[in-house]
Amino acid sequence: MLDQKAHKPHERLAAHLKDDLSQVDEMIRARMASEHAPRIPEVTAHLVDAGGKRLRPMLTLASARLCGYEGGHHIHLATAVEFIHTATLLHDDVVDESGQRRGRPTANLLWDNKSSVLVGDYLFARSFQLMTEADSLRVLQVLSNASATITEGEVLQLTAAQDLGTTEDTYFKVVRGKTAALFAAATEVGGILAGVSEDRIKALHDYGDALGIAFQVVDDLLDFWGGDATGKNIGDDFRERKLTLPIIKAIARGDDEERAFWKRTLEKNDQRDGDLERALEIMTAHGALDDTRAAALDWAARAKACLDALPEDPIRDMLSDIADYVVARLN
Amino acid sequence: MLDQKAHKPHERLAAHLKDDLSQVDEMIRARMASEHAPRIPEVTAHLVDAGGKRLRPMLTLASARLCGYEGGHHIHLATAVEFIHTATLLHDDVVDESGQRRGRPTANLLWDNKSSVLVGDYLFARSFQLMTEADSLRVLQVLSNASATITEGEVLQLTAAQDLGTTEDTYFKVVRGKTAALFAAATEVGGILAGVSEDRIKALHDYGDALGIAFQVVDDLLDFWGGDATGKNIGDDFRERKLTLPIIKAIARGDDEERAFWKRTLEKNDQRDGDLERALEIMTAHGALDDTRAAALDWAARAKACLDALPEDPIRDMLSDIADYVVARLN
């Protein structure tokens, strides 16, 4: 059944879970509809069709199948996970935009902001409707906890932004919130649905958590390392004054002159031509990029190690390959 | 135990439910806290302390008690209802770009849109955590359905805004969404928790629905009738070009000259000095304000009629008085 053209591990997993995934696609379309407010699927379709890799819902499907689940509720949960992810993307847009544009936005922009807020809320509510259909209070607990953690991570990121005192500890709290919490919940609920042992549920959670952290650390590194694969421009985080791991490492190792540079560019937002190049130079000199890469590799290795507790299965091998692939983006 | 100074029916109900309400206050404070993101309670405290009347959580407590509930989970559900309400207020302020709420500057002005969006999300997630603790999937269904309906109502309001073709039918769909859905869910879940008959659960739902509609119609009328009690300025909805019931009725009864007036002021957003006065004049001439008042009285009467299906109890009398009081704001 494997798609011959699928070389990347998440594509192989997608081919393996093809039938489940097409049911998820169908459910996404059905549940984002609104009888009373046709504007809702218009806004959502844009995001949902743009596609992404459906990585998070795929993790839920894979976990459930890996644990021998034979029912149909993993489709509901995978759809719920994708809705939560899409809702946070919509709200992130508002959060990031409002940072850049002060004063009154244009009518067009205004409409976008309104739609993003409300349609995000709609998807969030829909995701909880879907979860109730899976008939498991524990699943609802895990996913509502994850939702709270996601938001805490985003708020923490806001308050930590532009703060040169941000520690690696704070950085990882933010990353756990904004990325790893949903990965971990996505894998965990597959195991809960299948009714496996607490050890295996924990292993699934820890795999998702470590994978999510590796994923985000790589993303933050690619912002400096080479942005083509992510669709971001090199230096976006620097310009937005986000304190990501490479910068935090470089700041900690810098001398007074470098500290003044970070203070000017990140705290005081006085950025000039050549500053991004200078930032890269400083980070390279202190080995901050290499050490961030090592951290990403370490988290990917931790993710793979968690899989030992789970049954041997082609899906398990693909999940392991996905952990490798996440950091292979750095090569 | 009645507070002698409590004359208004919602104050009498609050006095009657004093112990429950103080537990709700305690839970609100405990659950809006965030270990990782102290900004969250700062933003929320602003809204939660400003108080409001806690009408929605009180409806949940009242329903549960009226139905003989003896457990403790009504506290969780009442807190969840208040969190959903507060989350929608935070997001509404971003959508409306409003500057004032409950007589104080809104969170989005005091902090920024980012905080309003994210803290709203946080409260929404927290509300679902609280619901899972009440151990009833049905309650989760009712409240996640209500959450979806709330958002549909808001989106519908956005798309109907500035549209002179908006019908009373659309208006009531919006009102059901933005207001009545949460009132109805708040009362319904009290009955579900108490395990009463389907007839009584439906009566509680219908009471909340009708009360919520009466409440919103009155609110929309007060925007023209006299705004002091609501903290709104007279004519806010007109300036924001919201098609509320009095305007919809006036448009439907207007002649060509009046239609041109509505077109200019509401569709084209060309509002000049004296336009609000002219709008009031037209609405008065067509009896649109009086007829809107009659509609509000009718919905309040429907709410009271639903209570017949419920047990005789001082709480039932107070719920009936609250329905009267909601429209008494018009006198």
Q: Which is more confident, A5 or B2?
A: A5
| Mean local confidence (pLDDT), B68-86 | 96
The domain ranges of chain A are 9-328
Q: Which of chain A's residues have a Cβ under 8 Å away from the Cβ of B148?
A: 122, 125-126, 129
- The pLDDT of residue B169: 95
pLDDT tens string B275-328: 999 999 999 999 999 999 999 999 999 999 999 999 999 999 999 999 999 998
The 10 Å Cβ neighbour count of residue B136 is 18
pLDDT tens string B27-59: 998 998 887 777 777 777 766 665 567 999 999
- The pLDDT of residue B48: 67
Confidence grade of residue A36 (pLDDT, cut at 50, 70, 90) = confident
Between CA A206 and CA A183 the distance in angstroms is: 9
Between CA A139 and CA A130 the distance in angstroms is: 11
Q: State which fold the B9-328 domain adopts.
A: Farnesyl Diphosphate Synthase (1.10.600)
Contact between chains at A147 and B121 (C-beta distance less than 8 A): yes
Between CA B231 and CA B23 the distance in angstroms is: 28
The percent of residues above 90 in pLDDT, for chain A, comes to: 69
- Asked if the model's pLDDT at residue A266 lies above 70, the reply is yes
**DSSP per residue, B15-35:** HHTHHHHHHHHHHHHHHH--S
ipTM confidence: 0.89
Contact between chains at A129 and B144 (C-beta distance less than 8 A): yes
| Mean local confidence (pLDDT), B257-270 | 95
Q: Which of chain B's residues have a Cβ under 8 Å away from the Cβ of A120?
A: 121
Q: Which of B252, B262, B184, B190 lies closest to B216 in space, CA to CA?
A: B184
Summary mean pLDDT of chain B: 89
| Mean local confidence (pLDDT), B12-31 | 93
The percent of residues above 70 in pLDDT, for chain B, comes to: 90
- The pLDDT of residue B111: 59
Q: Which of chain A's residues have a Cβ under 8 Å away from the Cβ of B94?
A: 94, 113-114, 117
Contact between chains at B37 and A155 (C-beta distance less than 8 A): yes
- The pLDDT of residue A107: 36
Q: Which of A117, A119, A151 sits opposite B122 (nearest CB)?
A: A151
**DSSP per residue, B240-278:** TT---HHHHHHHHH--HHHHHHHIIIIIS----TTHHHH
SS3 B105: strand
Q: Which is more confident, B217 or B53?
A: B217
- The pLDDT of residue B109: 47
Cα-trace Rg, chain A: 20
